Amino acid sequence: MLTHVVFFKLKDRSPEAIEATKAVLTNMEGKIPVLKSIEVGTDVLHSERSYDIALITRFDSLDDLKVYDKHPIHEGVKAHMKTVLDGTSICVDFIS
């Protein structure tokens, strides 16, 4: 199993903006066949070093992650994220 973890810091860190982006990410659930599981969490500490949203997704293989990356629904999510991100996201991919 491959686990893909991404942290996002948003330009607008208001609770409403964070929840709206969380909904965009959560909306992928059940719509991309290679996406085996998805978890989206929002930060509760709100410290200076905190990121606003964590995305944890799981795939059967690296090839499935590549399919997910190019899936039209994920492409739409990436387009949304480009408009709301404060800089770039941080990612870690590992075998679990």
pLDDT score, position 64: 98
Q: Which residues of the chain have pLDDT under 70?
A: none
Q: Using an 8 Å Cβ cutoff, are 91 and 2 in contact?
A: no
Q: Is the dihedral of CA 75, 78, 4, 19 positive or negative?
A: negative
In this predicted model, what pLDDT tens digit does every residue of 40-67 receive, in sequence order? 999 999 998 999 999 999 999 999 999 9
pTM equals 0.95
